[in-house]
Amino acid sequence: MAQPQHSDAPLSIGQYLIRRLQDYGITDVFGIPGDYVLGFYSMLEQSPIRVIGCTREDCAGFAADAYARTHGMGAVCVTYCVGGLSVCNSIAGAYAEKSPVVVISGSPGLGERLNNPLLHHKVREFRTQLEVFEKLCVAGAELSDPVSAFREIDRVLHAAARFKRPVYLEIPRDMVNVVPHIAHSFHVPQPPSDASAVIEAAEETARMLAECERPLILAGVEIHRFGLQDKLLELAESLQIPIAATLLGKSVIGERHPLYVGVYNGAMGREDVTRYVEESDCILLLGAFMADINLGIYTAEIDPARCVYVTSETLRIRHHHYHDVLLHEFLDALLERKPVAPVRPLPASLRQAPEKYELRSSETLTISRMIARLNEQLDEDTIVIADIGDALFGATELTIHGRTEFLSPAYYTSMGFSVPAALGAQIGQPKRRVVVLVGDGAFQMTGMELSTIVRHGFDPVVIVLDNAGYGTERILHEGDWNYNEIHPWRYHKLPELLGGGRGYEVRTEGEFDRALTEAWSDRSGMSLLQVHLSREDASNALRRLADRLSKKI
């Protein structure tokens, strides 16, 4: 747990906030300045923290989210209302998918608020933005009282670390330089933990494992967020229990591990993976949130009576509920008991490596063949970021080599995540190569964040899936609907506009192979591949989704 660094020099509220951000490992802050936060921005620029200016506030939020997923905790700094309310969607996604992002917003000074004047950016009341973020964050505070400001900063940042969800701090501009004249010390609050409940839950789980015939671990997003991959592997390897992942948990371990089964996604997923998971008679659901997408639009057939369901927020074994049991404590207690379980073999279809890709140079490129070729290129230093739509569904067939190297808003499913997320991932993990898969519709929402990527000289490979519209919606709701069409762009020409990188236009397998090979070897800047796809083309996963979801639309 991060502890504050102590200094004899008195700190202002703004300086203390910067110090505490550093204590939690935050070395970069994303955002856009505005007059209500300029004083704090100047303080940031004079600090060791690097300020990353973005093109839009929602992009800054997506970048901070990806930074948090790859680095541990992120931060975004914006001005009052026009900036804060613009970043709401990004922060909502971070909350839904458990990503600890600190939202810092300036606001009108307390002295400016006398007699309730009509100040610019204000919406309805001075507390409007604060009240909005109370619904989007796990904790928040307005730093308007010098007596409590340091304590509130500590409380809010601790909540981000404890719950892995976004938090909100609003600082009136006339409070940034205020130095509280009171002594302050921070004591880390201990989350509630019931030792007897931990032991009882671990023992009941050990009995289930010993009595079962077909055990399985289904790992989810919290294994990423809480850094529990090593404990997960220790448990699986000691018992030789196979591991599947939810869609949001993809890349929770390296996907070439001999115990890895694949992504489980109900009837949307691969039939052999689905069958193997659903035939299990003891499933340890670890850190998994079972939302509709994870459950294949509720086509998953998992019997709760066969499950141990553990997250940071709840623990249920069969129909027994345990309270005040932390996820890492449960794993520790279970490992201490050295449980035994039957060895369950993986069928040949789950063990075999992906079929080797053989180039068909003159053939028109399809999403499935593009994914197969990309799969040949990935290595242990690659982070894949998939946007919503067939960028995500097609990417489920990729084999990710390392842990936490696949990022996607797979639960909240907000279009436009991937390009700004590439910025955050490049800064959070500067030694990794980032590959972006993004549909043309999502790219038109936030793709201009490539401007910031070019500015900083980063070298992601951005693959735009160009089917001239919202391809997923075309398949989900049949018919020649004009609302699914978008204006065509010459995406491969954007590097010329942005003054950096190189563009490629691709229609065939041979063209894609050459473009990807050249882009991979070019570390001088970003590469943008415009991949033309048929309007009717779709991955197998998307077609399975369409079959299930179209009945509800």
Residue 414: which region, alpha, beta or left (left: phi > 0; alpha: psi -120 to 50)?
beta
- Distance, in Å, from the CA atom of 228 to the CA atom of 236, rounded to the nearest integer, reads 12
Is the pLDDT at 1 greater than 70? The verdict is no
For the sheet with 406-407, list strands across it.
406-407, 382-386, 433-439, 461-466, 527-532, 502-506
Mean pLDDT of 343-350: 86
* Rounded (5°) CA angle 33-36-39: 75
Residue that wins the pLDDT comparison between 120 and 339? 339
- pLDDT score of 4: 56
- Distance, in Å, from the CA atom of 63 to the CA atom of 54, rounded to the nearest integer, reads 9
Is the pLDDT at 298 greater than 60? The verdict is no
Residue that wins the pLDDT comparison between 266 and 444? 444
Mean pLDDT of 261-280: 85
**Where residue 297 falls among pLDDT bands split at 50, 70, 90?**
very low
- pLDDT score of 5: 52
- pLDDT score of 338: 93
Give the mean pLDDT of the chain: 89
Residue 329: which region, alpha, beta or left (left: phi > 0; alpha: psi -120 to 50)?
alpha
Is the pLDDT at 184 greater than 50? The verdict is yes
- The CA dihedral of 488, 494, 496, 497, to the nearest 10 degrees, is 90
Mean pLDDT of 23-35: 96
Is the pLDDT at 319 greater than 90? The verdict is no
**Size (the chain), residues:** 553
- Which spans in 74-174 are helix H? 88-96, 128-136, 149-163
Please name the helix (run of DSSP H) or strand (run of DSSP E) that holds residue 516, with its range, or none: helix 509-521
Is the pLDDT at 224 greater than 70? The verdict is yes
Mean pLDDT of 462-487: 80
Closest CA to 437 of 397, 493, 496, 379: 397
Per-residue pLDDT tens digits for 407-432: 999 888 899 999 999 999 999 999 99
User: Which of 215-224, 350-359, 437-446, 483-492 shows the lowest mean pLDDT across its residues?
Assistant: 350-359
Secondary structure class of 382 (helix, strand, coil)? strand
CA of residue 201 relative to chain centroid, distance: 30
- The residues near 196 (Cβ < 8 Å, ≥ 6 apart) are none
- pLDDT score of 201: 94
- pLDDT score of 365: 95
Task: Using the structure block, give the residue that is written with the tokens 């690097």.
Answer: 50
**Where residue 120 falls among pLDDT bands split at 50, 70, 90?**
confident
Secondary structure class of 242 (helix, strand, coil)? coil
Q: What are phi and psi for residue 492, nearest 5 degrees?
A: -70, -10
- pLDDT score of 119: 72
Per-residue pLDDT tens digits for 80-104: 888 889 999 999 999 999 999 999 9
- Distance, in Å, from the CA atom of 446 to the CA atom of 448, rounded to the nearest integer, reads 6
Per-residue pLDDT tens digits for 193-207: 889 999 999 999 999
Is the pLDDT at 291 greater than 70? The verdict is no
Q: DSSP characters for 5-55?
A: PP-SS---HHHHHHHHHHHTT--EEEE---GGGHHHHHHHHTSSSEEEE-S
**Where residue 304 falls among pLDDT bands split at 50, 70, 90?**
confident
Share of the chain above pLDDT 90, in %: 67
Closest CA to 304 of 314, 323, 470: 314
- Which spans in 78-127 are helix H? 88-96
Per-residue pLDDT tens digits for 130-170: 999 999 999 999 999 999 999 999 999 999 999 999 999 99
Burial of 420 (0-12, 13-18, 19+ CB in 10 A): buried
Is the pLDDT at 512 greater than 70? The verdict is yes
* Rounded (5°) CA angle 435-437-440: 140
Predicted TM-score of the model (pTM): 0.91
Q: What are phi and psi for residue 103, nearest 5 degrees?
A: -95, 120
Is the pLDDT at 123 greater than 80? The verdict is no
Task: Using the structure block, give the residue that is written with the tokens 């701090």.
Answer: 169
User: Which of 63-72, 252-261, 302-311, 477-486 shows the lowest mean pLDDT across its residues?
Assistant: 477-486
* Rounded (5°) CA angle 101-395-291: 55
Structure tokens at 118: 């009509």
Helices then strands, each counted (H, E), the chain: 21, 19
Secondary structure class of 105 (helix, strand, coil)? strand
- The residues near 533 (Cβ < 8 Å, ≥ 6 apart) are 365, 366, 367, 465, 466, 467, 471
In the chain, the domains with their CATH numbers are 13-172 (3.40.50.970), 195-344 (3.40.50.1220), 367-552 (3.40.50.970)
Is the pLDDT at 341 greater than 80? The verdict is yes
- Distance, in Å, from the CA atom of 68 to the CA atom of 166, rounded to the nearest integer, reads 10
- pLDDT score of 552: 57
Q: What are phi and psi for residue 29, nearest 5 degrees?
A: -125, 130
**Where residue 7 falls among pLDDT bands split at 50, 70, 90?**
low
Mean pLDDT of 468-486: 74
- pLDDT score of 550: 61
